[in-house]
Amino acid sequence: MAFLGQSSGATSIRLGMRWLLAAVAKAVTFVQSEGLRLIAELLPKGLYARALIIIIAPIVVLEGVIAFVFMERHWQAVTSRLSEATARDIAALISVYEQNSSEDSASKLIEMAREKLNLQMSILKQGDLPPARPKPFFDLLDRELSRQIATQVNSPYWIDTVGQSHLVEIRVKHKDKILRFVARRSQTYASNSEIFLVWMVGSSVILLTVAIMFLRNQIRPILRLAEAADAFGKGRPEPPDFKPRGAREVRQAAQAFLEMKERITTHVEQRTTMLAGVSHDLRTVLTRFKLQLALLEDTPEAISLRGDVSEMQHMLEDYLAFAKGHGGEEAKPVKLKELLNEILDEAALLGVDVQLKTRQRKDIIVPLKRHAFKRAVSNLVSNAARFGETVVIRAATERRRLRIEVDDDGPGIPPEERNHVFEPFYRLDVARNQDKGNTGLGLAIARDIARSHGGDITLGESSMGGLRAIISIPL
């Protein structure tokens, strides 16, 4: 039984140790992951800032190591040697003074100290040493000199390395006198070490300045390429002075962008030309249909055929508008309020109450493809007017984006259907029953236009109980 108890206790200890080690490992992993996440958040995100860190960090580390080694080895060693020599000179003068302390010998000793040892020596009357002075922040000289004097001179002493910046005062208490020594700071301290630091820091600043200027010139072509790509994505022309510059890889990327842009532009132009030809041919056929129907009498069959032809023409216009897109139109500065007023005037023919509300007093000027953007907003307004009795258009700018909201008081769209209504030819049952002429391309065309401007369209709940369509594009 005792054996079984010992075995059970050892098992419990092993399980406890395993649990403790697992907990420690989890804690270490958590700390490491959180530390890496915090470092990643603190590090700059831009290429220019990261490149500067890559250049500056090794220089700072190298200078820090050199400065530490220099201070620890060279500076301290030289200061120690100079302090030791000064302490030995003082010990030798005290020893000579002890052997012969007459006034004549003291005068000769003071003269010898001044001429041979470059020390100002004076003999003061008996008294106490001054109170200890506070040590400076960098007390290397104070510490080394105190240690050397304590080793070489077996008497009470007092030193002052702060009072006069270029002099060091040392007082030693003798039997019946106080011996005062004044030495230049350069005799006891490696004072020219700052020159090395100044040269090191100064040369580093010059090198960093040159590196920053060079790096800035290398980063500028990348920024220009990003601006050109962003402008092309928003349907705007690239900067007029944009051309491949910089390093070989950057020039290759810029050249590849220009070639890609040319291929896309050529593709859009070819598609537009082809669809324009198709549109012309189909319109010619529809025109012949209309002429033939105009010659027929107003029978029920002829009236029905005229309605079918009109509906077919309307559908054809929507199909071609969606397929052709609006890539051929260039973005130009447009007065937004003027554009919205035109849409408001045209919406008055829809037979519903359409209102326009803007927050800004000043007119907003935005680079837009005017006809395309007008069609997108008109599609949203007509869609709202089809199902509601009141439509409110709101326009504002926020966070460097243009935001236009179109609210209605209609039945709205269920949340699960809001993503599907942007699909081409997708129509809700309500829309199909209320308007047989609806092709299901209005919202698809509007979103395509918004995305060609670098923005998007989203749907939500309106404060009026119906649908809210939000078109947002960057300024």
For the chain, counts of helices (H) and of strands (E): 13, 11
Residue 27 has what pLDDT?
A: 66
Residue 411 has what pLDDT?
A: 85
Mean pLDDT of 344-356: 82
Identify the three-state secondary structure at position 405.
Answer: strand
Please say if the pLDDT value at position 1 is more than 50: no
Q: Quick one: fold of 329-474?
A: Heat Shock Protein 90 (3.30.565)
Which residues are registered as beta bridge partners of 116? Answer: none
Q: Which of 384, 312, 370, 372 has the alpha carbon at shortest distance from 338?
A: 370
What does the block give as tokens for 334?
């447009």
Using the CB atoms, write b or e for 244-269: b if 16+ within 10 Å. Answer: bbbeeebeebbeebbeeeeeeeeeee
Residue 432 has what pLDDT?
A: 38
Rounded to whole angstroms, how far apart are CA atoms 25 and 443?
55
Identify which has the larger pLDDT, 101 or 180.
180
211 burial type by CB count under 10 A (0-12 exposed, 13-18 middle, 19+ buried): middle
Whole-prediction pTM: 0.49
Question: Taken in order 372, 373, 374, 378, is the CA torsion positive or negative?
Answer: positive
For the chain, helix, strand, coil in percent to 5 are 60, 15, 25
pLDDT tens digits for range 325-349: 555 567 788 888 888 888 888 887 7
Backbone angles phi, psi at 138, to 5 degrees: -95, 95
List of residues 6+ apart from 302 with CB closer than 8 A: 293, 296
Residue pair 64/128 in contact (Cβ under 8 Å)? The answer is no
Residue pair 268/325 in contact (Cβ under 8 Å)? The answer is yes
Residue pair 472/401 in contact (Cβ under 8 Å)? The answer is yes
Mean pLDDT of 46-57: 78
Please say if the pLDDT value at position 13 is more than 50: yes
Could you say which DSSP state residue 421 is in?
G
Rounded to whole angstroms, how far apart are CA atoms 215 and 379?
49
Please say if the pLDDT value at position 192 is more than 80: no
Residue 420 has what pLDDT?
A: 80
Of the ranges 4-8, 27-31, 54-58, 163-167, which one carries the lowest mean pLDDT score? 4-8
Residue pair 376/321 in contact (Cβ under 8 Å)? The answer is no
What does the block give as tokens for 155?
């008497």
Mean pLDDT of the chain: 77
Rounded to whole angstroms, how far apart are CA atoms 258 and 228?
9
Identify which has the larger pLDDT, 191 or 383.
383
Gap between the terminal Cα atoms of the chain: 84
pLDDT tens digits for range 369-423: 888 888 888 888 888 888 888 888 888 887 788 888 888 888 888 888 888 888 7
The full set of domain ranges for the chain reads: 69-191, 329-474
Identify the three-state secondary structure at position 119.
Answer: coil
Mean pLDDT of 31-50: 67
Confidence band of 288 (pLDDT split at 50, 70, 90): confident
Rounded to whole angstroms, how far apart are CA atoms 374 and 448?
13
Identify which has the larger pLDDT, 440 or 172.
172
What does the block give as tokens for 109?
């000793």
Identify the three-state secondary structure at position 394.
Answer: strand
> How far from chain centre, in Å, is Cα 190?
45
Identify which has the larger pLDDT, 64 or 427.
64
Could you say which DSSP state residue 73 is in?
I
Q: Which of 300, 308, 365 has the alpha carbon at shortest distance from 336?
A: 365
CA distances from 175 to 31, 41, 45 (A): 65, 69, 72
pLDDT tens digits for range 414-460: 888 888 888 776 766 544 344 445 566 778 888 888 888 888 888 88
Please say if the pLDDT value at position 302 is more than 50: yes
pLDDT tens digits for range 194-220: 677 777 788 888 888 888 888 888 888
CA distances from 217 to 57, 203, 222, 254, 469 (A): 20, 21, 10, 16, 44
Q: Does domain 69-191 have CATH number 1.10.150?
A: no
* Helical residues (DSSP H) of 297-369, grouped into ranges: 300-324, 336-347
pLDDT tens digits for range 132-153: 766 665 566 677 778 888 888 8
